[in-house]
Structure 1
């Protein structure tokens, strides 16, 4: 009387277009996430890695801990000696450098310029 009879839904055909339309929102969400989150993060990581590889002696840096100092010596591929105060040097892992505040000229260019100056002085 008050309860109606429940009938099972008729089984639809398993066609390819119906299955694709079910996954379309998920695919769309993944594409949006890729362009708004994943791709910019990868680009930022690539730029940071290039910045770390380009650190030279004399560059003014900020570490991840917030220390500001000047690179006194590049000890190895993964280590820097940073002067944080006059006469105070600390060793810092290269990966812990967050930003480079000021860059110095490449050492190779300076050496070449000095050689040119010496040659011009001799003449």
Structure 2
């Protein structure tokens, strides 16, 4: 009985350590893995270095991503992607063509 009483606090500490340290790390790793597997062409992303761009190409065999940063194409490893921007933010980048008004042509 004394043996059980001496091991019980140690087991409680180990259980607490699991729920406070190991479990949150596993959840974060699973979340990152799901994020990286759900990336697709056209998604706005931010790298771990803070570079913002849009995914142009995903290479599954090399596990690399080509990012378009305002016309400059850079290749990164998939794990270098820190987060995917909201689709609403990424889709606001559009090119608009405007025709000059008649008053602008007469100048």
TM-score after normalising by structure 1: 0.66
- What is the RMSD computed on CA atoms of the aligned residues? 1.5
How many residues were matched structurally? 87
For 1:35 and 1:74, locate their aligned partners in 2 and report how far apart those are by CA, in whole Å.
36
**Aligned counterpart, 2:13:** 29
State the structure with more CA Rg.
Answer: 1
Deviations 1:31-57 (CA, angstroms, capped at 9, x unpaired): 111112111111111111010001000
- The alpha-carbon distance between structure 1 residues 44 and 31, as it changes in their structure 2 partners (threshold 3 A), is same
Q: Which runs of 4+ in 1 moved over 2 A?
A: none
**Aligned counterpart, 1:92:** 76
Q: Structure 1: where are the runs of 5+ without partners? A: 1-16, 105-123
Ranked by relative contact order (alpha carbons within 8 Å, sequence separation 6 or more), the top structure is 2
Deviation at 1:91, TM superposition (A): 0.2
